[in-house]
Structure 1
Amino acid sequence: MRKESDSTLNEPVISVWVRDPRIRKNDFWHAYIDYEICLHTSSVCFTKKLSRVRRRYSEFVWLRQKLKENSLLMIQLPELPPKNPFFSLNNAQQITDRMKGLQKFLEQILQSPLLLSDSCLHLFLQSELNISKMEACAAGRTHYTVAQAVQNCGLRRFHSETDLEDLQTDVFCDFDSDSSESRDPERKINDLGVNNAESTASLDLLGTSQEETMSCSPVSI
């Protein structure tokens, strides 16, 4: 019995939260919501053990499609919360339901050892690249590797001149990234009818950032 308990204690932890929905405006007529994805893990498969990025629903749709293509239908992927043609940015319950569905999707994805080796998943969870840049990086068509994209999440430049040049010409960071300079507190949705006390307590673990080299060999770094 004790051996089983010790084995359980040694298993890597991968915890993910989808939280803090915020309204973003493309222009006067068009707006969307993105969500903060917080990851806390002890798994050697991840370059960073603590990370935060922001993603919108359409990026989740892209991720599921890429995982489906890359896994060659070897596993059954969980479903995303369905796209609602009547989804409203002013409907707190709809936003809450979608946020919970997105978190459930990621929790199930992260339970698969096969999917943990997918570069697109790592870029989605721990980089600020937009969809086109994630695809290019995962395919090896950028000057920076998957590990470099993850390690430089939140930074304004790489350390080498080549990476800096690529950053300037290709617009490395997504315009939707969670930047302290660009985030508008007034756009934060505060009236969601959901109790986040437990998640908030868990997120206190995310005080400092740690970086380690990604050691899962199938991931291109």
Structure 2
Amino acid sequence: MQQVVSVWVRDPRIQKNDFWHAYIDYEICLHTKSVCFTRKTSSVRRRYREFVWLRQKLMANSLLMVKLPGLPPKNPFFSLNNAQQIADRMTGLQRFLEQVLQNPLLLSDSCLHLFLQSQLSVAKIEACAAGRTTFSVAQAVQRCGLRRFHSEEDVQKDISMSCDSDSDSSDSRDPEQKIEDLAIKKSKSAALLDHISTCQDEMFSCSSEST
């Protein structure tokens, strides 16, 4: 019997490196009862280029035995203030993860688990998966605290703040509505989000464990 893994990509937020450089990262929420996962519920944030790295890593580790799904293409005209472009990218990133998590071979990849359930950088993910850190993959996953899931109201507010304030509010609501609709269809696992009230409010930094 197939064990369901529910994943959402949502809550886009603009992060600024400095005055001139900024990027958007996304919250990846995962809920499952699968024995493949150390944590059954988790929440991390990743940016687009980290998804690109993950796909390349999975392709290399699977020795081309798996036909990996595609990512939404990189758009040279992508705008941090374009709500529709952000919504389309989120949809594509979620579809990518959904298809990856359906493949038993890919589920055995440590890099995938660290990507989804730890806050390690891609460089530290590679080091941890290769056994070059003082902590194991399971320890890295366990020591990254669970971030509280946003309520629907908070998510809508975050999307609106991340996008151009002059954009149509319906554009900001569309991606979250699509994700909520999908969640209802997937084992009704979205109902669990309302009950996660004892989770930690902040994420612990896994990077402090490395040498």
* Structure 2 CA distance for partners of 1:40 and 1:179, relative to 1, 3 Å: closer
Aligned counterpart in structure 2 of residue 57 of structure 1, from 32, 48, 56: 48
Displacement of 1:204:
3.9
Asked whether the 8 Å contact 1:92–1:193 carries over to 2, the reply is no
Secondary structure, aligned partner of 2:128: helix
Report the counterpart of residue 21 of structure 2 in structure 1: 30
Quote how far apart the aligned CAs of 1:198 are.
2.8
Unaligned stretches of 5+ in structure 1? 1-9, 156-177, 210-221
Aligned partners of 2:52 and 2:71 also within 8 Å: yes
Match of 2:81 in 1: 90
Give structure 1 regions of 4+ aligned residues with deviation exceeding 3 angstroms.
199-204
Q: In 2 relative to 1, CA 179–198 (structure 1 residues): closer, same or farther, beyond 3 Å?
A: closer
* 1:198 and 2:181 matched: yes
The structure 2 residue matched to 1:71, chosen from 49, 58, 62, is 62
Q: Which has the higher contact order (CA 8 A, sep 6+)?
A: 1
Alignment of 1:162-201 (within 5 A): 188-190=158-160, 191=169, 192-194=172-174, 195-196=177-178, 197-198=180-181
1:112 aligned residue: 103
Question: CA, structure 1 residues 55+179, in 2 after alignment: closer, same or farther (shift >3 Å)?
Answer: farther
In structure 1, what is the equivalent of residue 34 of structure 2?
43
Give the Cα separation in 1 of the matches to 2:3 and 2:123.
31
Two-structure CA RMSD over aligned residues (Å): 2.2
SS for the counterpart of 1:45 is: coil
Q: In 2, distance between residues paired with 1:204 and 1:130? A: 31
State the match for 1:168 in structure 2: none
2 CA distance for matches of 1:85 and 1:18? 22
Q: Could you tell me which residue of structure 1 aligns to residue 164 of structure 2? A: none
Shift of 1:119: 0.2
After superposition, the C-alpha distances for 1:77-116 in whole angstroms (9 at most, x for unaligned) are 0000000000000000000000000000000000100000
Give the Cα separation in 1 of the matches to 2:5 and 2:21.
Answer: 35
* Alpha-carbon contact 2:6-2:183 (below 8 Å) kept: no
- For normalisation by structure 1, the TM-score amounts to 0.73
- Distance in 1 (CA, whole Å) between partners of 2:148 and 2:124 is 18
What CA distance in whole angstroms lies between the structure 1 residues aligned with 2:182 and 2:18? 32
Which is higher, the Rg of structure 1 or of structure 2?
Answer: 1
Cα 1:112–1:200, aligned 2, differ >3 Å: closer, same or farther? closer
Code of the residue aligned with 1:205 in structure 2: it is: L
Contact 2:26-2:46 within 8 A present in 1 as well? yes
Higher share in helix: 2
Residues in 1 aligned to 2:134 and 2:78: alpha-carbon distance in whole angstroms: 39
Correspondence 1:103 to 2:94: yes
Show the counterpart of 1:133. 124
Q: Say which SS state the counterpart of residue 71 (structure 2) adopts.
A: coil
Query: In structure 1, how many angstroms separate the alpha carbons of the residues matched to 2:124 and 2:192?
Result: 30
Q: How far apart in 2 are the matches of 1:102 and 1:81?
A: 7
